[in-house]
Amino acid sequence: MMLGTVRRFGVSHALRATAPRSISARLATQLPKWQAPLTLSSPVATRSLHSSFPRLSEATAQAIVEETEPSQPANITEFADLASGNLIHNTIIKNIIQPDRMNLKTMTEVQALTLNEIVKGDDILAQAKTGTGKTLAFLVPSLQNILNDPTVDVSKVGRRGARTGPSEIRALIISPTRELAEQIAVEARKVAFGTGLLVQTAVGGTQKRAGLAKIQQEGCHLLIGTPGRLKDILSDPWTGVSAPKLNTLILDEADRLLDQGFAPDVEEIQTLLPDPTKVDRQTLMFSATVPREVMQMVRQTLKPGFKHVNTVREDEVPTHHRVPQKLVYTRGLENGLPALLELAQNWQTRRDNGEKLRPFKAIAYFNSTAETKISADAFNALTRTAEFRQSSMGNMRMLEINSRLTQQVRTRSADNFRKAREGILFSSDVTARGMDFPDVTHVVQVGVPRDRETYIHRLGRTGRAGKEGEGWLFMHRAEQDVYRKRLGRLPLKVDTELQTADADLSQTFSNDTQVGKIVNSINQGLAQCDNTTKVKSYMGQLGTTTGNFNSKREAIQALNQMFTVGYNMQTLPELSPKLMQQMGLNRVDGVSMGDGSRQRREGGFSRGGDRGGDRGSRGGFSRGGDRGGFSRGGDRGGERGGFSRGGERGGFSRGGDRGGFSRGGDRDGFSRGGDRGERSGFSRGGDRGSSRPPRRSFEDSFGEDAFRF
């Protein structure tokens, strides 16, 4: 073995630790420009939790400070220099720096600050802004640590008849989503190329048997997976996959893995690993956000005295300065899609006019899976029109990703978006964390996201590795309070550039104006969406909208308006009495109560279908303003805002064509909002087995992954 040892195996540190203050200064001059360097006035590059989490109570903060100590930053910032002192294997360095390989030169701040500590064997909690290279920060030293292990024989790898067994796993990386696990594996294989180290994945949605066979036949040193599948594989003795010699456990997006959705699985995985009192184990946690709620879990999981490396300065917001964040108020929920189209169109027009702008490549985030679908469907329909194809947006790809799609489709969407030069990815939160799509120019969040962390991670899909980008949040005015409460201090500036955001869509528009053209195009796109999709979208947004608006009445009105005006649907979806009770909608005007039989009878939930069908060709739609708001069926309970109430027609059947409210594509609609915890009535559905304790009510599309691997 080329290298000496490190802490666990007894080797000296090749990186010289220097006084934190001088290191800060050194890093400030040596790091690439795009990394906001720490200033000399900043206390230290790594800091205690006390300074990073001013909101913690004094007592708690004190306790944490006691068990941490400032880590010692390294004085090496170039990857090439890691060869001196044999700190990192030459092959790994070559893989990183060679132009025909990863072609990286200078370490990012978080990489420089954690590498030494990880090679030493310390437990680490590392926090650094999105897109600043955290993946390599844990991969490089962890792979090196495996090479340093004298019991690992990489010479066996690849020789005929000789193989590394499936129980040779030395490091395990847990990721909250399948796509992220695969992305980390791709990066890990690049770093490990030629070292003989074997990297394998265990993610849900893929054929378990095939994945297992690969691990069994080829062996594995580093296993990367999602919680459900890892638990499954490691707990099943028949797989032969075990990790009795595991030295390193890494939680990427640690705060997500430690929150209530994933924590039980992550805890269970740890019980399947060797007893850390017998086999020394290093645990590493990385994320751009570490909310105080998870600190208790962090402290329980890491060894006392763990290092907290935090490159986000205390006085800084955790988003990038170079990514302007704009807030757009929309008149109604139905204005979101026209505003998105206008944003894309304005950008492309500026390019056409000679401005040096990268092609429009955006991720549009929605708070429910069903919304991603209807939005992607509408935009896809748009791209099929001759007018669109001939426009400056003609080459855009419209892609969709959410957890209701098969893994095959998800992977294809992610790959296509990665490769796309311009386009829009309509996404639920499955891509919000960690995904490194190149050259994303815009992140558009439609509706206030469920929490501050989600906002920050979604925004972090642009402006990565020093690139420019823009963040946009479209929100209904009625979401203002929840916006302030959830997102806290962030540098969003109100923007009024998008005219369609404030347009009254119940009007008829002519194609003579830009606003009219955009609105009519979206109408045309939505007219191609089937009615079931529209109903699902309504149902999917019920939970999020009622959670985001101050009053349920206002939320229902806004939803009904979106459904009738935006989707051009005539009959509102029926909600079961049970659902209404669970959601506290019993006394709310505008709710249509029933058992869903009308929708089923009418095949496709609405009479609006044919109206919708031709609406696009009419080049706009008229929406009888005289009908007073949302209701089409004026005869049905006018005094209640025109919405039918089907009387006490018995319980809503959960199954039916919507697959029940608990697991259908729309179920994530119920998961967001500040009142997530209160919605235990909407439990996750029978397929998860009743033996599991209810951890949260409806799983959103992201958390859903915890149960669908």
Ligand X SMILES: Nc1ncnc2c1ncn2[C@@H]1O[C@H](COP(=O)(O)OP(=O)(O)OP(=O)(O)O)[C@@H](O)[C@H]1O
Please give the residue ranges that form the binding site for ligand X (CB under 6 A): 104, 106-108, 111, 128, 130-136, 288, 434, 436, 460, 464-465
**Residue 98, token pair as written in the block:** 């060679």
Closer CB to ligand X, 401 or 580, in the complex: 401
Closer CB to ligand X, 256 or 676, in the complex: 256
Task: Kindly state the smallest distance separating residue 135's Cβ from ligand X, in Å.
Answer: 3
Closer CB to ligand X, 487 or 503, in the complex: 487
Euclidean distance between CA atoms 351 and 393, whole angstroms: 11
Q: Which residues, 6 or more positions from 441, have their beta carbon under 8 angstroms from its beta carbon? A: 347, 357, 358, 359, 360, 361, 362, 462, 468, 469, 470
Whether the CA torsion 133, 134, 137, 139 is positive or negative: it is negative
* Residue position matching structure tokens 């986000």: 312
Task: Kindly state the smallest distance separating residue 27's Cβ from ligand X, in Å.
Answer: 13
Closer CB to ligand X, 176 or 646, in the complex: 176
Task: Kindly state the smallest distance separating residue 430's Cβ from ligand X, in Å.
Answer: 14
Give the burial string for 312-339 (b: 16+ CB within 10 Å, else e): bbeeeebbbeebbbbbbbbbbbbbbbbb
Task: Kindly state the smallest distance separating residue 435's Cβ from ligand X, in Å.
Answer: 7
Closer CB to ligand X, 131 or 665, in the complex: 131
Task: Kindly state the smallest distance separating residue 21's Cβ from ligand X, in Å.
Answer: 24
Q: β-strand 470-476 against 442-446: which pairing, if any? A: parallel
Euclidean distance between CA atoms 688 and 342, whole angstroms: 42
3-state secondary structure at position 403:
coil
Euclidean distance between CA atoms 505 and 526, whole angstroms: 13
Closer CB to ligand X, 104 or 448, in the complex: 104
Closer CB to ligand X, 110 or 341, in the complex: 110
Task: Kindly state the smallest distance separating residue 299's Cβ from ligand X, in Å.
Answer: 22
DSSP-assigned beta bridge partners for residue 222: 171, 199
Read off the DSSP letter of residue 282.
E
Closer CB to ligand X, 126 or 424, in the complex: 126
Task: Kindly state the smallest distance separating residue 235's Cβ from ligand X, in Å.
Answer: 28
What are the angstrom distances between the C-alpha of 197 and each of 92, 146, 171, 660, 667?
A: 11, 8, 11, 46, 42
Closer CB to ligand X, 131 or 566, in the complex: 131
Pick from 598, 340, 589, 568: nearest CA to 445 = 340
Read off the DSSP letter of residue 464.
G
* H runs (alpha helix) in 219-365: 227-235, 254-257, 263-271, 295-301, 336-352
Beta strands in 274-406 (DSSP E): 282-287, 307-310, 325-330, 361-366, 397-401
**Residue 90, token pair as written in the block:** 């030459």
Task: Kindly state the smallest distance separating residue 622's Cβ from ligand X, in Å.
Answer: 46
Closer CB to ligand X, 97 or 503, in the complex: 97
Phi, psi of 361 (to 5 degrees): -135, 105
What are the angstrom distances between the C-alpha of 514 and each of 232, 259, 495?
A: 54, 45, 18
Task: Kindly state the smallest distance separating residue 167's Cβ from ligand X, in Å.
Answer: 29
Task: Kindly state the smallest distance separating residue 93's Cβ from ligand X, in Å.
Answer: 12
Pick from 574, 576, 538: nearest CA to 558 = 538
What one-character-per-residue DSSP string does 39-91 give?
Answer: PTTSS-SS--HHHH-TTS-HHHHHHHHHH------BS--BGGGGGGGG-S-HH
Closer CB to ligand X, 329 or 455, in the complex: 455
Closer CB to ligand X, 74 or 580, in the complex: 74
Task: Kindly state the smallest distance separating residue 436's Cβ from ligand X, in Å.
Answer: 4
**Residue 658, token pair as written in the block:** 């919507």
Contact by Cβ (8 Å): 423, 397: yes
Task: Kindly state the smallest distance separating residue 433's Cβ from ligand X, in Å.
Answer: 6
Closer CB to ligand X, 104 or 250, in the complex: 104
Task: Kindly state the smallest distance separating residue 79's Cβ from ligand X, in Å.
Answer: 7
State the burial class of residue 162 (Cβ atoms within 10 Å of its Cβ: 0-12, 13-18, 19+).
exposed
